[in-house]
Structures are given as structure tokens and as C-alpha cells.
């Protein structure tokens, strides 16, 4: 039976560390990290996340600002707000909640955020740094996955790591982070042939697909580390991951639950990125 990795506990540890570092930054430099979160529209899940981000800021002693804009806000208006935030000395981190409404170009919005305030790590400057091995701000969920692995004492060097899902938010960046730790990385996606054969080779399996309980026990090697990034709501209202937890937990050595695994790590790492941006002093 696998050891269940407690994401709530690890995320709390990280928030405590960030709170202490923020206190030191304030005492030594007089800087209070500031995070601006921009939400366009009324997506209920996004509203919940934005509320959690504000609460986390309060806990770690950051300034937090929320911009809640109507769904029909123009792209130009949003660009204008971002340019203002880029020049705002009290704000060190800018996060525009995704997905954006159809009429707004996500690419254009991300490219307009000052890369030194891009706490999501989505700007091409930060993506480039990640790929070439000199990262500045790294996407939150992938960084959270790595913290779960490190803090569970798992060594990645020479291990077979398989990532299922190739999104810009999770799959692609986590593959580069695993590679930087000397894992042998394979990326799978919807067109992969014989997925079970590939996932069955994994010492470390990252499931970031968005399909409830798709990873079954017969797709997992005995003793594998299984990280479940999925957050799927069933018709019953219950949350479930991309991994069939009960049957996979019998075979795995470590596994993350849903909820309480990767989920809480994302906001903890957002706090860490905001601290990194504030410490680097680009908000000034």
C-alpha cells in the first residue's frame, strides 16, 4: 500500500516558510510583497480560486489586490490594466486567471505582463528560462509537484518519468523540471499509441489529463510514484482525480490524493513566486 503524500501539510509548511521570509524582507528592505489577481467573467471555479488566493496572501502577510471585470471587458481595457500594474511599485506579482473569454487573446495578455512580475511563469521569457535551465519564475502547479516529490525524499536521478498531458500550464513545464533533475522523461498525450505500455514503464507517473480515474492499476508499475493533477467533478458533486486512487494505491509506493494532494500546492507556490519577484526587487 502506497504512502499518501499530504499536500495540505506540505502546502502549509511552504506558506509558513514564505510568511517568515516575507517578514524578514519587510524588516530588512521595507518591502511588502504585493499580488494583483485579475478575473474576467463569472466562471464559478475561477471565482473560488481567486478567493483562495486572497486568503493565502493575507495569511503570509502580502498585499493583495483583486480586479473583477465583466465578461464583456474589451481586450484593450484588460491590456491597459496590465500595463498599469506593470508600472505599479506596490505590485510584484500579476496573475490573470485563465481561461479568458473567447474575444480576448490569452497569448497577447500573457506577453504583455512584465516577465519579472509574471508569477504564473507563463510569459515566453520565463518559459525560455525554464527550457534552457536558468529559470526565474516557474509555473505554480509544476513547481508544486516537484516540492511534493522533494519533500517526500524521492530522488529522480536516472528514473523513468512519464507525463500524461501536454498542457502549457502543467504537462510541458513539469517535463522540463523533471528533466532538470536528471529523470528520463517521456510525454504522452491523446494520440499516444499503447498508453498503458508507456505509463507502465514509469518510476514516476504524472497524470495531468483531465479525465476522471483514467489511470487504472494495470497502467502502473509496482512501486511507482503516482502524482495526480486531475480535478474532475463527478455528477454526484464529488471531486476525483485522473487516477483510480483505490486500485492504484495498492501498487504504488507513493500517491497523491484528490483533493488534498497537488491542489493546495498551486497557491502555496504562487505565494513563493510572489516572494521571489518581490525579493528580486523588480517592483521597486
CA–CA separation, 199 and 252 (whole Å): 13
Residue 53 is among the residues annotated as catalytic for this protein = yes
| Comparison of 120 and 242: residue with beta carbon closer to ligand GUN | 120
Least separation, in Å, of the C-beta of 67 and ligand GUN?
13
Least separation, in Å, of the C-beta of 110 and ligand GUN?
9
Beta bridge partners of 67: 38
Q: Does 231 bind ligand GUN (CB under 6 A)?
A: no
Q: Which residue is catalytic, options 6, 97, 213, 242?
A: 97
Q: Are the C-beta atoms of residues 229 and 208 closer than 8 Å to each other?
A: yes
CA–CA separation, 250 and 166 (whole Å): 27
CA–CA separation, 186 and 129 (whole Å): 21
CA–CA separation, 108 and 129 (whole Å): 19
Q: Does 73 bind ligand GUN (CB under 6 A)?
A: no
Please give, one letter per residue, the 3-state secondary structure of 191-248.
CCCCHHHHHCCCCEEEECCCCCCCECHHHCCCCCEEEECCCEECCCCCEECCECHHHH
Residues 101-160 that bind ligand GUN (CB under 6 A): 120, 140-141
Q: Does 98 bind ligand GUN (CB under 6 A)?
A: yes
Q: Does 256 bind ligand GUN (CB under 6 A)?
A: no
| Comparison of 91 and 202: residue with beta carbon closer to ligand GUN | 91
Which among 16-24, 89-97, 249-257, 273-281 is the span making contact with ligand GUN, rule CB under 6 A? Answer: 89-97
Q: Does 174 bind ligand GUN (CB under 6 A)?
A: no
Residue 97 is among the residues annotated as catalytic for this protein = yes
Residue 120 is among the residues annotated as catalytic for this protein = yes
Which residue's CB atom is positioned nearest to ligand GUN? 98
CA–CA separation, 71 and 69 (whole Å): 7
Instruction: Indicate which single residue of 25, 95, 100, 206 sits in contact with ligand GUN (rule: CB under 6 A).
Output: 95
Least separation, in Å, of the C-beta of 193 and ligand GUN?
29
Least separation, in Å, of the C-beta of 201 and ligand GUN?
29
Q: Which residue is catalytic, options 6, 120, 228, 242?
A: 120
| Helix (H) or strand (E) run with residue 184 in it | strand 184-188
| Comparison of 49 and 282: residue with beta carbon closer to ligand GUN | 49
Least separation, in Å, of the C-beta of 253 and ligand GUN?
28
The CA-based diameter of the chain, rounded to the nearest angstrom, is 56
Q: Are the C-beta atoms of residues 271 and 18 closer than 8 Å to each other?
A: yes
Which among 90-98, 125-133, 243-251, 255-263 is the span making contact with ligand GUN, rule CB under 6 A? Answer: 90-98
Cell of 226: 503516482
Nearest alpha-carbon partner for 230 in 128, 129, 145, 110: 145
- The residues that touch ligand GUN, with contacts defined as CB under 6 A, are 95-98, 120, 140-141, 169, 266
As annotated, the active-site residues are 53, 97, 120
Amino acid at each position: 500500500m502506497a504512502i499518501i503524500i499530504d499536500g495540505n501539510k506540505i502546502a502549509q509548511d511552504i506558506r509558513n516558510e514564505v510568511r517568515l521570509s516575507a517578514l524578514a524582507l519587510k524588516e530588512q528592505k521595507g518591502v511588502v510583497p504585493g499580488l494583483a489577481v485579475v478575473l474576467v467573467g463569472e466562471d464559478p471555479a475561477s471565482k473560488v480560486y481567486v478567493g483562495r488566493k486572497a486568503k493565502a496572501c493575507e495569511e503570509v502577510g502580502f498585499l493583495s489586490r483583486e480586479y473583477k471585470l465583466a465578461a464583456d471587458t474589451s481586450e484593450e481595457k484588460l491590456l491597459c490594466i496590465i500595463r498599469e500594474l506593470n508600472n505599479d511599485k506596490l505590485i510584484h506579482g500579476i496573475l490573470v486567471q485563465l481561461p479568458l473569454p473567447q474575444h480576448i487573446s490569452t497569448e497577447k495578455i500573457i506577453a504583455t505582463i512584465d516577465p519579472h512580475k509574471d508569477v504564473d511563469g507563463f510569459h515566453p521569457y520565463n518559459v525560455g528560462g525554464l527550457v534552457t535551465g536558468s529559470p526565474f519564475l516557474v509555473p505554480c502547479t509544476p513547481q508544486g509537484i516537484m516540492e511534493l516529490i522533494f519533500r517526500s525524499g524521492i530522488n529522480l536521478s536516472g528514473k523513468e518519468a512519464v507525463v500524461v498531458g501536454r498542457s502549457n500550464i502543467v504537462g510541458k513545464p513539469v517535463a522540463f523540471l523533471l528533466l532538470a533533475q536528471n529523470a528520463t522523461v517521456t510525454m504522452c498525450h491523446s494520440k499516444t499509441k499503447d498508453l498503458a505500455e508507456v505509463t507502465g514503464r514509469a518510476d514516476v507517473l504524472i497524470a495531468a489529463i483531465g479525465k476522471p480515474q483514467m489511470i487504472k492499476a494495470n497502467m502502473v508499475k509496482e512501486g511507482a510514484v503516482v502524482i495526480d493533477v486531475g480535478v474532475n467533478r463527478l455528477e454526484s458533486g464529488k471531486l476525483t482525480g485522473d487516477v483510480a486512487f483505490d486500485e492504484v494505491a495498492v501498487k504504488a509506493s507513493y500517491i497523491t490524493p484528490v483533493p488534498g494532494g497537488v491542489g493546495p500546492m498551486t497557491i502555496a507556490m504562487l505565494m513563493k513566486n510572489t516572494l521571489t519577484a518581490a525579493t528580486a526587487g523588480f517592483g521597486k
